[in-house]
Amino acid sequence: MDFNRIKEKLNILADAAKYDVSCSSSGSNRKNKDNGLGDTGNGICHTYTEDGRCVSLLKILLTNHCIFDCAYCVTRKSNDIQRAAFKIQEVVDLTINFYRRNYIEGLFLSSGIFKSADHTMERLIAVAKKLREEENFNGYIHLKSIPGASDELMYEAGLYADRLSVNIEIPTISGLKLLAPDKKHEDFIKPMLKVKNEIIRYKEESKIIKSTAKYAPAGQSTQMIVGATGESDKDIMYSATHFYKNYKMKRVYYSGYVPISTDSRLPSLGSEVPMLRENRLYQTDWLLRFYGFSVNEILDADNPNLDMDIDPKLMWALRNLNHFPIDINKAEPRMLARIPGIGMGSVHKIISGRKYRRLNWEHLKKMGIALNRAKYFIICNSSDWEQRDLDAATIKGMILQSQNSKFKNQYNNQLSLFN
């Protein structure tokens, strides 16, 4: 193997792949087969990049040659950059050798579109097939579904991949028309639909026949770029909800637009990556998936954007003060989960703990609840609680003041969700 040549390619093709933020390697159930190599599990982050993102997969493009010219993409045809392409065997060797050294959980392979969608998809499948069949590799494989790829190929891809994804990238159809005029909305939807139907089929059949060949056991995901087309948070979250619902997405990722082009349709080079906004969108996503909120409770025509100063749960609570205060010792779990400053972990602790005794402030504090936020919304076993009839703006002001210094540090902290 010519390591120098491989190194050059790796630099180019990893650099081009890094804007896809998904690095999840969890949710699959592939076990090690016949004393072969690898298995999947909860998904381990083997390291973190200097921008603080989890590195769990070898994330590369097969090639960054592309016949399309999507304005928001570094790989676009008109961009004057170095191009490279891996051979199939080179990707297989890299994956296996990184995996054996415990660097990664597996491979995330995407590609620029060369010749045609089908031709590209075929090559991606060839890599996955080789890993599974020739190397008996049971680690995680995430393949990109190439927009416009045929149903037959999408079927085949799911036989080898744990996860498939097609990035919708632009949350609104008008935005897509503006920035990727040669791509059609249907081209994204078609593979998504096929994968969804195959996943449903696989789940049904495997209930009856145990030996049914696995089909994309970790499901499918998509990504939207945030802040490239002037879309509102409502546009993004309604679109995300649509994909969760209608395509049974496992995850929707939100990726703050990193300026890579002087194109006048886009934010100029040097404008800031909207990281705080991205974080707020993830928090909202979390509320929808795990906390029992529905999207119109948080965003609607009157409130099309999230509050950047405070997290979306607090924002919701301040708009719905009539639900509060909530009694910690009596409330249903569903309502406990809606209290600002209380995460799901704390909800469980409260439910366990209150069997033994009525909980007071001291107990709650030790459980790690963020009382500086929660205290305005709860009563517990103590006569000392917020009795003043405060309005939303006052509470918000007091909370912001109490966390002012702490809050500043959280600006860049993508993963600090609710605790």
Q: Smallest distance, Å, CB 272 to other proteins?
A: 8
Q: Which does 76 bind (CB under 5 to 8 A by kind): ligand SF4, other proteins, none?
A: ligand SF4
- Asked if 133 is part of the footprint of other proteins (rule: CB under 8 A), the reply reads no
Q: Who's near 11: CB < 8 A, 6+ residues apart?
A: none
Among 48, 330, 397, 401, binds other proteins (CB under 8 A): 48
Label the pairing between strands 57-61 and 326-327.
unpaired
Q: How far is the CB of 75 from ligand SF4 (least distance, A)?
A: 4
Instruction: Give the nearer residue to ligand SF4 in terms of CB position, either 73 or 154.
Output: 73
CB of 38 within 8 A of CB of 138? yes
The yes or no reply on residue 178 touching other proteins (CB under 8 A) is no
Q: How far apart are CA 414 and CA 239, in angstroms?
A: 21
Minimum distance, C-beta of residue 14 to ligand SF4, in the bound complex (Å): 15
Binding mask 270-309 for other proteins (x = CB under 8 A): ---x-x----------------------------------
Residue with tokens 């590195």: 55
Closer CB to other proteins, 40 or 239, in the complex: 40
Count of residues binding other proteins (CB under 8 A)? Answer: 62
Candidates 356, 383, 393, 404; binder of other proteins (CB under 8 A) is 356
Using an 8 Å Cβ cutoff, are 403 and 310 in contact? no
Question: Smallest gap, in angstroms, from Cβ of residue 190 to ligand SF4?
Answer: 15
By CB under 6 A, residue 216 contacts ligand SF4: no
Opening angle at CA 167, ends 165 and 171, nearest 5: 140
Pattern of binders to ligand SF4 over 42-81, x per CB under 6 A? ------------------------x-x-x--x-xx-----
Question: Taking CB within 5 to 8 Å according to partner kind, which of other proteins, ligand SF4, none is near residue 51?
Answer: other proteins
66 binds, among other proteins, ligand SF4, none (CB under 5 to 8 A by kind): ligand SF4
* Residues that bind ligand SF4 in the complex, under the rule CB under 6 A: 66, 68, 70, 73, 75-76, 112-113
* Residues that bind other proteins in the complex, under the rule CB under 8 A: 1, 3, 6-7, 10-11, 14-15, 17-19, 31-32, 35-39, 41, 44-55, 58-59, 94, 97-98, 100-103, 136, 258-259, 273, 275, 349-350, 352-357, 359, 363, 366-367, 409, 412-415
